[in-house]
Amino acid sequence: MYFIIVGREVFLLTVETGNMSHECCEAMLQCDQNSVSSTKTRVLTSEERMKLQLQNKRLVSDHQAAKLELNAKRYWDLFYKRNETKFFKDRHWTVREFEELSADGKSQVPKVMLEVGCGVGNLIFPLIEVHPEMYFYACDLSPRAIEFVKSHPSYNENTVKAFQCDITTDEILKEVAFESIDIVTLIFVLSAIHPNKFHQTLENVFNVLKPGGVVLFRDYGLYDMAQLRFNAGHKISENLYMRQDGTRLVCFKYLYVSCVL
């Protein structure tokens, strides 16, 4: 799913999603229906429905789920210890999918961008080549990921400031000034955060966004193939899963994000 948030309205660019979960349906009842566009619902096959039902045979215990939340930073740090800079490919596609980041999107007044969940820099470093006039902030929950960013040959503090930060808290304001950012990107970030923290996360993002600024994000849609691949023993709660390495994945419909803003 590709999105752009302007003001506090969510606009869908492309989508591959399915039916809303029970939580999403409840949330929709509380939303302003006029501010949200509807999309075509994906119909699951009988085989896919069976896969989802089998996931309920054995759930992650409450104790283990609490441990996953408490140690989220540790699990992501271990992820980057194992994979270093080899796991994700450079995200050159962002300049094609988001016109705000395209080569034609240069402005006379250089823009400032914040990437939340920057990992090892697979988004910001390709963007620096396209937009050398911009200034970039880059943050990640994992201190090890930030070390990799700072060790990149293209890292220059005149162009980039990278720092460790938990975006679900107000730590971001220690590094980035209030209402100072033109563009915020959240690329596969919300899906790694517990849904109970979506609202606070987005509030923290809006605190640093300039009036008229935009939030660009891409993430896993409800009933994405990544969700259907999980076996029993990995489901924490509705649409929330534990990976083998302790990191988590939540799949959601974009209407859900509209409702938590």
Q: What is the pLDDT of residue 254?
A: 64
Q: What is the pLDDT of residue 43?
A: 79
> Alpha-carbon distance 121 to 84, whole Å?
11
Instruction: Judge contact between 91 and 122, C-beta under 8 A.
Output: yes
Q: What is the pLDDT of residue 106?
A: 65
Structure tokens at 132: 């050398």
> Alpha-carbon distance 128 to 214, whole Å?
19
40 to 88, 180, 228: CA distances (angstroms): 30, 37, 19
Q: At what angle do helices 72-83 and 62-70 cross, to 10 degrees?
A: 70
Catalogue all structural domains in the chain, each as residue range(s) with its CATH number: 2-260 (3.40.50.150)
- The alpha carbon dihedral of 14, 30, 166, 180 has a sign of positive
Q: What is the pLDDT of residue 9?
A: 52
Q: What is the pLDDT of residue 87?
A: 82
Element containing residue 235 per DSSP (H, E): strand 235-237
> Alpha-carbon distance 156 to 116, whole Å?
18
Q: What is the pLDDT of residue 90?
A: 81
Q: What is the pLDDT of residue 257?
A: 65
State the pTM of this model: 0.83
178 class by beta-carbon count within 10 Å (0-12 exposed, 13-18 middle, 19+ buried) = exposed
- Along the 261 residues of the chain, how does pLDDT read in single tens digits? 555 555 555 554 443 333 333 333 333 333 333 333 334 556 799 999 999 999 999 999 999 999 999 999 999 999 999 998 888 888 888 887 888 887 666 667 789 999 999 999 999 999 999 999 999 999 999 999 999 999 999 999 999 999 999 999 999 999 999 999 999 999 999 999 999 999 999 999 999 999 989 999 888 888 999 999 999 999 999 999 999 999 999 998 766 666 655
Q: What is the pLDDT of residue 8?
A: 55
Any idea which residue has 């959240």 for tokens? 186
> Alpha-carbon distance 167 to 139, whole Å?
8
